[in-house]
Structure 1
Amino acid sequence: MISAQRKPGAAGAPLNVGFVLLNRFTLLPFAAFVDCLRLAADEGDRSRQLRCSWTFMSASGEEAMSSCGAVISPCEALKNPESFDYIVVIGGVQEEKDKTDYRALEYIRLAARFGTPLVGLCTGVFALIQAGVMKGKQCCVSWYHHGDLQRRFPDITPVADRIFVDEGKLITCAGGVAAADVAAYLIERHLGRAWAIKSLHIMLIDEARPTAHPQPQPVIFEKISDRLVRSAVDIIAQHMGEVIAVEQLAQRLNTSRRNIERKFQDELGISPQRFARDLRLRYGLWLLLYTTKSVTEIGERCGFSDAAHFSRHFRDAFGYTPSSTRKQSAKRDQQHVDPFFIHIDSTIDGR
């Protein structure tokens, strides 16, 4: 059981945050956010709530259970939202059988009416949507939950190509370690850049990533049994915006070009260069379907020298142009197509 203790007078801190922990909330975004606050609140690692203060709340006022089974205690009942600079809502595991927390939703609506800024971390954005406060706003969500959100809330347009979105009184975050980026963003706003940097550096994070920083896109590896090829694919997937030479790839994996080409051919039936290009094109397809970026921007992000180069390879791979794909995106919204999980065999002709 994790205990939280508030210090007397903490409510007078320059940055005062209330956390609403929903049932089976995800622990990582919670921990990343609150630890960033904790480290900015005091000198060194003393954890006194001086510059920042925080309150853990649940709808019942009882302890809150996380998705991994860790418990946060004590939690307070939902307090006057006007007493906080921000209210951070952290969602949990999304299952149909989970009951809606109507008290939490009403509290979110109350906070919105009072003008208290709301932050939705991870699936906390689902609660903000259910509370009716996200209408007409951009909504950041993890690529992992993008399809679920679209199916449940077809009138909402989610953003899954960046780590968080600031809409003024509403901030939504994809979750995970990106919660630390949001916390640092708010700390810098209220306390100054030095305090945000101090927190991140103690957490072994080099620097805060901006809101437009892209989310890493998923690749599923179950078709790959060779460890070297899996490692190579991992490197390729983390460098979608650049062309990595096979020699460079081999050097990073401490092997030879000939060996890595042979292993790719044995495992996947294509060369590393072809695999990397096809994967970057799949990423381009995802960006066309799920973002409003121009074809030129997408081509650059996918590592192609210009829009014409990107369009030519895209047409060769899929049989249609990027422009026609963008025009058909409305039909994709009506007939849910989910290209998030890029299976290895979908990048290989005939396999």
Structure 2
Amino acid sequence: MNVAHPSPVASTVSRERIRFGILLLPNFTLTAFSGFVDMLRLSADDSDFSKPVRCAWSVVGKTLAPVRASCGIQITPWETFDEAEPFDYVVVVGGLLHSGPQADDETLAFIRRAANEGATIVGICTGVFTLMRAGVLDGHRVCVSWFHYWDFIERFPQANADMLVADRLFVIDRRRISCSGGRASIDVAAAILLRHFDHATVQKALRILLVGEMQKGNAPQPHPPGLEPATHPKIKRAILLMEQHVGRALPLEELACKLDLSPRQLERLFKAQTGKTPQTFAKHVRLRTAAWLLTSSDRTVADIASSCGFSDASHLGREFRKQYGMPPVAFRDQRTGSASDDKESEEYISASGAIS
């Protein structure tokens, strides 16, 4: 499948248009790409002709060889890096992390060149991993999906908790924009377009896509494992923050401040929604993460204890026995014996982290 080029009328349109260069990485997520580019298409014209009047977009690549999405559909770039004129925005769309090649040196160089020329760089889904490799995120906050948070920490150990944001849909930090992916690509596209166009223009595009109102960047990401969909947004964000800071338990006062609540308000709301205090739930999050690491890695118990905010292996062992009824080593041995055991372990860990 190839994406059609814009109408030839594009050559006669004013250069005042906002120019977007879209870079698709191998095994990119089709939803992230299509949601973003459809917001551009529907906001670019007053009528329903999808002409690039207000903004223009181009799919760029190292070569014109098709790029395969994670679902198998292939998109052919419209122009190469060398052919493309400077862009106002360069949007890097990622997808699968553990399958196929990563961005090559020419791609990283193109991103760095665009950043040096003053373009705003946008990372969607795992596109932020490539931006990090390109070295264009220094001093900026970065939004990652809660699902890929630990992958990011593993690949970029220099990243710290203050830099990473895994509890929001997207983050706009000066000329760097990062988005958790999926449906949020529509929301971040809308936020970008509102920088340049009136609200009615952007709202029209959202309604055509049957989205309604856009989600703001500080809206929480969809609930992680163990959360009911109806959970209060403040509590969703609180638990995402707990997972993001699993190596350092956030004091109640600091957690409440991040949520614009008083500690007393947070405790009342948390107890009403989960039946647990924030401190108790945070400990369960840390134990659930430790259980996952035991079954998905060969890291030592002492290393896992340190990563999950326990003082040492003995501390983790005591708390782990209370939660799972066995020491960490026995849990690992029992749960990693076969593929079926692995599946059972995932279900067990997910259930153990569920809200009671």
TM-score by length of 2: 0.70
Residue of structure 2 aligned with 1:345, choices 347, 352, 355: 352
Report the counterpart of residue 73 of structure 1 in structure 2: 76
Cα contact 1:58–1:77 (8 A) shared by 2: yes
Residue of structure 2 aligned with 1:14, choices 7, 14, 17: 17
In 1, distance between residues paired with 2:279 and 2:144? 29
Superposed displacement of residue 51, structure 1: 1.3
Gap change, CA 1:290 and 1:166, over 3 Å in 2: farther
Report the counterpart of residue 103 of structure 1 in structure 2: 106
Q: State the AA in 2 paired with 1:62.
A: A
In 2, distance between residues paired with 1:105 and 1:241? 37
Q: State the AA in 2 paired with 1:138.
A: R
Residue of structure 2 aligned with 1:54, choices 53, 57, 60: 57
User: Residue by residue, what CA displacement relative to the aligned partner does 1:17-50 show, whole Å, maximum 9, x if unpaired?
Assistant: 0101111111111100000000011133211111
In 1, distance between residues paired with 2:25 and 2:237? 37
In 2, distance between residues paired with 1:107 and 1:295? 39
Deviates more, 1:81-90 or 1:27-36: 81-90
Q: State the AA in 2 paired with 1:295.
A: L
Report the counterpart of residue 30 of structure 1 in structure 2: 33
Residue of structure 2 aligned with 1:195, choices 201, 204, 216: 201
Gap change, CA 1:207 and 1:95, over 3 Å in 2: same
Report the counterpart of residue 182 of structure 1 in structure 2: 188
Report the counterpart of residue 242 of structure 2 in structure 1: 285
Secondary structure, aligned partner of 2:204: helix
Secondary structure, aligned partner of 1:219: coil
In 2, distance between residues paired with 1:100 and 1:64? 12
Q: State the AA in 1 paired with 2:353.
A: S
In 2, distance between residues paired with 1:189 and 1:348? 40
Q: State the AA in 2 paired with 1:139.
A: V
In 1, distance between residues paired with 2:281 and 2:187? 36
In 2, distance between residues paired with 1:196 and 1:169? 21
- Matched residues, percent identical? 33
Superposed displacement of residue 178, structure 1: 0.7
Gap change, CA 1:134 and 1:314, over 3 Å in 2: same
In 2, distance between residues paired with 1:114 and 1:72? 27
Residues 1:239 and 2:232 aligned together: yes
Q: State the AA in 2 paired with 1:167.
A: D
Cα contact 1:109–1:132 (8 A) shared by 2: yes
In 2, distance between residues paired with 1:61 and 1:40? 27
Q: Unmatched 5+ residue regions in structure 1?
A: 221-232, 243-278, 323-330
In 1, distance between residues paired with 2:261 and 2:84? 41
In 1, distance between residues paired with 2:124 and 2:270? 35
Q: CA RMSD in A?
A: 3.7
Gap change, CA 1:306 and 1:95, over 3 Å in 2: closer
Secondary structure, aligned partner of 2:116: helix
Cα contact 1:139–1:172 (8 A) shared by 2: yes
Cα contact 1:122–1:176 (8 A) shared by 2: yes
Q: State the AA in 2 paired with 1:187.
A: L
Cα contact 1:188–1:194 (8 A) shared by 2: no
Report the counterpart of residue 114 of structure 1 in structure 2: 117
Q: State the AA in 1 paired with 2:58.
A: T
Report the counterpart of residue 5 of structure 1 in structure 2: 5
Secondary structure, aligned partner of 2:20: strand
Q: State the AA in 2 paired with 1:64.
A: V
Residues paired across the two proteins, number: 290
Secondary structure, aligned partner of 1:156: coil
In 1, distance between residues paired with 2:283 and 2:27? 44
Cα contact 1:164–1:172 (8 A) shared by 2: yes
Secondary structure, aligned partner of 1:39: helix
In 2, distance between residues paired with 1:164 and 1:42? 26
In 2, distance between residues paired with 1:287 and 1:162? 11
Report the counterpart of residue 96 of structure 2 in structure 1: 93
Secondary structure, aligned partner of 1:137: coil
In 2, distance between residues paired with 1:27 and 1:67? 7
Superposed displacement of residue 296, structure 1: 2.1
TM-score by length of 1: 0.71
In 2, distance between residues paired with 1:29 and 1:35? 10
Gap change, CA 1:123 and 1:99, over 3 Å in 2: closer
Secondary structure, aligned partner of 1:182: helix
Cα contact 1:61–1:78 (8 A) shared by 2: no
Residue of structure 2 aligned with 1:161, choices 167, 178, 184: 167
